[in-house]
Homo-oligomer: A and B are copies of this chain.
Amino acid sequence: MDTLNKLSATEAAAAIAAGKLKSEPLVAACIERIRQRENDVQAWAHINPELALMQSRECDRQQPRTRLHGIPVGVKDVIDTADMPTEYGSPIYRDNQPKCDAACVAQVRDLGGVVLGKTVSTEFATRHPGKTCNPRNLAHTPGGSSSGSAAAVADCMVPLAFGTQTTSSIIRPAAYCGVVGYKPTFNVINRAGLKFLSDSLDTIGVLARTVPDAALIVEELSGSPATSFDVVPDLKPRIGFCRTPYWHQADRATQKALERAVPRLQQSGARVTEVELDGEFARLVEVQVTISSFEIYRALGYERTRFPDLISETLMGRILGGGRVTRAQYEEAHAVARRCRARLDDTYRDYDALLAPSAIGEAPKGLASTGDPVFGSSWTVLHGPAVTVPAFTGPGGLPLGAQLAGPRGHDSRTLLCAEWVRRALAE
Interface residues on A, range: 35 or more
CB–CB A100/B200 < 8 A: no
Cα A6 to Cα B34 with chains together (Å): 63
Give A contacts to B, CB under 8 Å: 82, 93, 96, 98-103, 105-107, 109-110, 187, 190-193, 195-196, 199-200, 221-225, 294-295, 298-306, 326-327, 330-331, 409
Residue of B with least CB distance to A328? B225
CB-CB under 8 A from A304, the residues of chain B are 106, 110
- With beta carbons under 8 angstroms apart, the residue of B98, B107, B196, B223 that contacts A192 is B196
CB–CB A223/B101 < 8 A: no
Counting every copy of the chain, the complex holds 2
The answer to whether A295 and B190 touch (CB under 8 A), given A222-B327, A223-B326, is: yes
Jot down 27 A-B pairs with beta carbons below 8 A, ordered by A: A93-B99, A96-B99, A101-B301, A101-B302, A102-B302, A103-B298, A103-B299, A103-B300, A103-B301, A103-B302, A106-B304, A106-B306, A109-B305, A187-B200, A190-B199, A190-B295, A190-B298, A190-B299, A191-B196, A192-B195, A192-B199, A193-B196, A193-B302, A221-B298, A224-B327, A225-B327, A331-B409
Residue from A110, A199, A223 having most chain B Cβ neighbours under 10 A: A223
The answer to whether A298 and B187 touch (CB under 8 A), given A109-B305, A327-B222, is: no
CB-CB under 8 A from A303, the residues of chain B are 100
Cα A306 to Cα B99 with chains together (Å): 12
CB-CB under 8 A from A100, the residues of chain B are 302-303
